[in-house]
Every structure is written in C-alpha cells, then in structure tokens.
Amino acid sequence: MHELAICQALMEQVERIAQEERADQVLSIHLAIGPLSGVESRLLEQAFSVARAGSIADSAELVIESMPVQVNCKQCGQLTEALPGRLVCGSCGDWRTSLISGDELELRHVELIRQTAEDSFAPARRSYNS
Amino acid sequence: MCDTCGCNVTPGNAHLVKPGGRLSKTENGHEAIDVLHGLLDANDHTAAHNREHFNKHGVLAINLMSSPGAGKTRLLEATIDALKDELSMAVIEGDLETENDASRIRAHGVPAIQITTGSACHLDAHMVHDALHQLDLQQLDIVFIENVGNLVCPASFDLGQHRNITLLSVPEGDDKPAKYPVMFRTADLVVLSKSDLLPVLDDFDPDKARRYLRELANSAPVFELSAKNADGMDAWIHWLLAELASLEQQSGRLAAEPA
C-alpha cells in the first residue's frame, strides 16, 4: 500500500502550488497514471479522500487519466498496444521493444479559485523557475 | 557529509525549481495551472542526491529487491565472505521490524545500518539518505541496500542506486516476472536464488523465467545461484566486480574532465 506515501507527496505538491499561486481553494487535481508505474488508481483515490481532509484541497476532485501501455518495436518499427506483463510487439511478436507509454505517474494540471489575488498579485503567467 | 551539496534544500520543493509552470483561465474564470510534475519528484530529487554522493566517492550502490524470504540476506552474507579480503563493503537493511538482518551482516565483519520502516512497505530515497549519514563512504567500495521484502512497492521508488538486482527464489515459481512486471522490468540483473532446490522443485523452469523476463522487454542477465552450496557465486561476483570497475572508470573519466 505505497499509494498512501504517494498521495502524501501529491498533497505536498498541490499545497505548495496553491500557496505559490495564492489560491483560496483547489477545485480539481488531474493526474496521468500508467499501470507500469506500480500505482493503483483505485487505492490512490481512497488515500486521497482521507488525505485531502482539512487541506486547501478539502473539496477537490481527483481526476485520473489511465494511460495505455504502448511499445515501439525495435525490429519492425511498429507502435502497438501491449499488456503490462507482456511488453512484446503486437505486430511481429518480438520482445525487443521500448516503452512509449504506460509508466506515467504525473501531476498534470491543477484547477484553482483565487478570489483575493486579482488586485494585489495576479501575474498572467507564473513560472516556477524561481 | 553534506556540507557542500545542499542537503538543507527541502526535497519537497524540488519540483518548483523546474520550468514550465503555466497559468491560464478556464471558461468559468477559475485558474488552471498546467504543471506536469512527477508525483515522486521529491523522492527522485533525493535519489539523485544520493547517487551524487555514491559517485563522488566511487562507491557502487546496489539495490536488492525480492519477496520476503527469497534469500537476499543469505546472498549478502556469502558475497561478503567472498569479497571481504579485497573490498570494503557496507549494507543498509530495510525491514518493517527487528535488527535481525543487520546483526547477521555485522557478524560477517561488515557495517550494517538497519532501517526499520514500521508499517511502510518499501524504502524511499529519504530513508536511504539518512542511513548514508551514518556511513563513511570514503572508506567503501560497495554499498548494498537490502530493500523491504516485497515484489510490489519498492519498484516505484528510486533510492539513488546504480543497479537493481531482483531475486526470484525457486520455490516462488517461474512466472513471477509476468505477475510482477513493474518490479522485474526495472531489474538490471535477475538472480534465480535457492537453485539447489531445482532438483526437488522440478516444475520451476529457469528458461521459462528467462522468457517471461524477456517478454517485459528486459535483456538483463539471469543467474542461477545457490548461496548455500556456492553454485553460481562466481558469475555473480564477476558481475559485481565488472560493475565496480566500470563505475570507477566512469568516475575517473569525470574527474579527468576540466571543470
């Protein structure tokens, strides 16, 4: 059940972003997760429902996009779908493939409400390159 | 150890250093921030930091993973006995409870740092970082990190190791790579441990285990090994020494480069 630890890392990131952006509330959090990340979306959702309590994301929705497992064949060059436990080329069957998608564990997008910041500090674009 | 490398930078803010944060407005006037951060950025940052330490001191870091009871500690005991005259080693032990494994290692004359994780099912880079503070890397050639016995969770956490070794013991069955793809996909070497049991557990087919591993697009070598009767130890020791030599060559090259 390492999803709890991962959810904790997620909450830290979201709270930091909300703080940086001077947000009052987090509306939704969007993740991309592939089966080869080793993280179960269902368990992460359960952990999130506990972890968000009392935070700025108290009523936030967690939206998880499940990424497909796709491999690129080094022999025939085809891009095909594969099973997490069997990453062979769907076209020629060769095992020498490289993973194109399926191991994602990413925070992609956060939606916020910011009511008080408009008049004081509201940059149109905010870079994290500080 | 960390007087010059920025340990005091909190790992949690690593993701904020990355460029690419973007702000826009949604139709209903809410702010929408595109971020694209790895969920484990904080862990990965500390892992990279650990790796820098290992590299700086030319220490090979090996992460040993397997299910509980596959023979990780037994392999380490045999490895220490085989190499202790020529190399200086240390072991970081991860277990939910007890100092048992660390005591076993220390009995072979090698320092061992026990991390007890409580209920945590894996080691993470922060735990390893704390343990590294208790070791004098200057004096070491190899640090073995014996992860918590678990074929699932440890696979998701980079510790800063150079190589991942996954043990698959003969009693577990030859289809484990297909059942635990996340773990076996990341293995740089797979050890089929307790190979002395192959004659009695003859439904375990080493070739099948190899085939399942290849079907994860993993070309890692597979060694059959019995730490009990020393069969296959030579190949493993040879592999370790080659990895160490290649690391030393690499760090020698880096040191030779003008700053």
Sign, Cα dihedral of B119, B1, B188, A103: positive
Cβ-Cβ contacts under 8 Å for B252 (sequence gap 6 or more): none
What is the Cα–Cα distance from B74 to B85, expressed in whole angstroms?
19
- Interface contact B39-A13, CB threshold 8 A: yes
Domain A3-67+102-113, CATH: 3.30.2320.50
Of A5-14, B181-190, B216-225, give the lowest mean pLDDT range. Answer: A5-14
Token digits for A12? Answer: 């830290």
Decide: pTM greater than 0.90.
Answer: no
What is the Cα–Cα distance from A88 to A69, expressed in whole angstroms?
11
What is the enclosing helix (H) or strand (E) of B208? helix B206-214
pLDDT at residue B10 tops 60: no
pLDDT at residue B112 tops 60: yes
Name which of B39, B127, B175, B186 to mutate to probe chain A: the one with the most chain A Cβ atoms within 10 A of its Cβ.
B39
Rounded-to-10 torsion of CA B191, B196, B199, B201: -60
To the nearest whole angstrom, how far is the Cα of A58 from the nearest Cα of chain B? 17
Token digits for B121? Answer: 């099912």
Q: Which of A87, A54, A51, A103 is nearest to B158 (CA)?
A: A103
Nearest chain B alpha carbon to A71? B217
Mean of all residue pLDDT scores within chain A: 88
For Cα atoms B248, B252, B258, give the angle at the middle one, nearest 5 degrees: 155
The pairing of beta strand B31-38 with beta strand A105-113 = antiparallel
pLDDT > 90: what percent of chain B? 78
Name which of A13, A21, A96 to mutate to probe chain B: the one with the most chain B Cβ atoms within 10 A of its Cβ.
A13
Which ipTM did the prediction report? 0.81
Strand order in the sheet with B222-224: B112-116, B89-95, B142-146, B60-65, B163-169, B189-193, B222-224
- Interface contact B39-A106, CB threshold 8 A: yes
Range 39-98 of A in CB contact (< 8 A) with B: 39, 71, 84-88, 95-98
Mean pLDDT of B184-190: 97
What is the Cα–Cα distance from B143 to B157, expressed in whole angstroms?
17
Give the confidence band of B28 by pLDDT, cuts at 50, 70, 90. low
Give contacts of A71 with chain B, Cβ < 8 Å. 217
Range 115-134 of B in CB contact (< 8 A) with A: 120-122, 124
pLDDT digits (tens, 9 = 90+) for B151-164: 999 999 999 999 99
Name which of A6, A128, A129 to mutate to probe chain B: the one with the most chain B Cβ atoms within 10 A of its Cβ.
A128
Cβ-Cβ contacts under 8 Å for B29 (sequence gap 6 or more): none
Domains and CATH numbers, chain B: 41-256 (3.40.50.300)
pLDDT digits (tens, 9 = 90+) for B200-254: 999 999 999 999 999 999 999 999 999 999 999 999 999 999 999 999 998 777 6
pLDDT digits (tens, 9 = 90+) for B72-110: 999 999 999 999 999 999 999 999 999 999 999 999 999
Nearest chain A alpha carbon to B179? A85
Say if residues B154 and B65 touch (Cβ distance below 8 Å). Answer: yes
Say if residues B164 and B51 touch (Cβ distance below 8 Å). Answer: no
Q: How far is CA B191 from CA A47, A68, A85, B70, B167, in A?
A: 34, 30, 19, 10, 5
Give contacts of B38 with chain A, Cβ < 8 Å. 105-107
Q: Which of A115, A111, A107, A125 is nearest to A57 (CA)?
A: A111
- Interface contact A127-B16, CB threshold 8 A: no
User: Is B52 part of the contact surface with chain A (CB cutoff 8 Å)?
Assistant: no
User: Is B35 part of the contact surface with chain A (CB cutoff 8 Å)?
Assistant: yes
Euclidean distance between the first and final Cα of chain B, in Å? 22
Sign, Cα dihedral of B217, B220, B222, B225: negative
Nearest chain B alpha carbon to A124? B23
Mean pLDDT of A63-70: 97
Give the confidence band of B26 by pLDDT, cuts at 50, 70, 90. low
Mean pLDDT of A21-38: 94
**Alpha helix segments (H runs only) across B57-168:** 72-83, 100-106, 125-132
